[in-house]
Amino acid sequence: MVDQAREAAHRAASDAERIAWVDEQDRLLGSLVRSELRERGLIGRGTYIMLFNSSGELCVHQRTFSKALYPGFWDVAAGGMVGADESYAESAARELAEELGVSGVELTAHDHFYFEDTGSRLWCAAFSAVWDGPLILQPEEVLQARFIPIAQVMQEISEKPYCPDSLAALKRYLRARGIDVAKDA
């Protein structure tokens, strides 16, 4: 288990990263330090990578309690903020490798949408990948991870705290495939 000092150092480094700053139409305005973007309520770019196994189960993971947003919440996607000089696809590949130790897989792009919630304004790009190998969790960001059926995910979101931004990406993904998803589920 990662000690609190290591998580705090990781959080400080993360808050100091330069990330893409965009306008309401997702046009690049420049880059800002992550903490400044968040504090000023400006719009950034984020990626969401839904990782499935070949049985169609989705990888869900629990975030560490040192995360700035949604600490300790469950997440249906790996992902994060797009760096100052990254494309959405480059960010997605980096985040999947960092958080879950998965690299060299084909990423399929699915969606591009705007998301807003308390403390978060993002243009989002959603991807998916299939992986049957081992997961290597980033201890500063991920407490635990497991593959579960989509039906179980949809049940758990009413029982456990799940990140609303990645849930928006998942629900859009499922609706695009004709899978019924209750609007408020």
Q: Return binding residues for Mg(2+).
A: 95, 99
Q: How many CA atoms lie within 13 A of 32 on its CB side?
A: 17
Q: Minimal CA–CA distance to 146: which of 53, 68, 54, 64?
A: 53
Q: Where does residue 26 rank: exposed (0-12), middle (13-18), buried (19+ CB within 10 A)?
A: middle
Residues 6+ apart with CB under 8 A from 5: none
SS3 per-residue string spanning 43-98: EEEEEEEEEECCCCCEEEEEECCCCCCCCCCEECCEEEECECCCCHHHHHHHHHHH
> What tokens appear for 110 in the block?
């699915």
Please report, in range form, the residues annotated as the binding site. Answer: 95, 99
Place of tokens 């609706």: 175
SS3 per-residue string spanning 13-37: HHHCCEEEEECCCCCEEEEEEHHHH
